[in-house]
Amino acid sequence: MINRRSFFAGMGLPVGAAIGLARTVDASVAAGTTEGLAKLDTMISIQGTYLNWDQDEYMRGMYNGLVLAKGCLTGTVCDYRSEPLPERTESIG
């Protein structure tokens, strides 16, 4: 079994958040519910919003780490985000 506490902490989540999320996921897995995964989905949704994940490498890494956590817990294929295209400052025409 995965040590979820160290797994989430290793993703760069604050220790308190990592412990809380790990406990929620463990409890929901033990109870056969999806509460922990729902919280993880909420974090992915928030981190994946425009002007959040695409601000710098750290924020993109945070998003991709949350996606990786979900993939590891559910056994699904991860859909990572790559670096966004730079904005054009010169005219095309």
Residue 8's pLDDT is 56
2: its two tokens: 């995965």
Instruction: Choose among 59, 58, 1: nearest CA to 26.
Output: 1
- For the chain, what is the total number of helices (H) and then of strands (E)? 4, 0
Residue 60 vs residue 3, higher pLDDT: 60
Query: Using one digit for the tens of pLDDT, what is the confidence trace for 60-81?
Result: 999 999 999 888 888 888 899 9
Per the CB < 8 A criterion, the answer to whether 71 and 77 are in contact is yes
User: Is residue 84 predicted with pLDDT exceeding 60?
Assistant: yes
Residue 3's pLDDT is 57
Query: Using one digit for the tens of pLDDT, what is the confidence trace for 18-50?
Result: 666 667 766 766 666 677 788 889 999 999 998
The H-assigned helical ranges of 32-74 are 35-47, 57-74
Distance in angstroms (rounded) separating the CA atoms of residues 48 and 11:
16
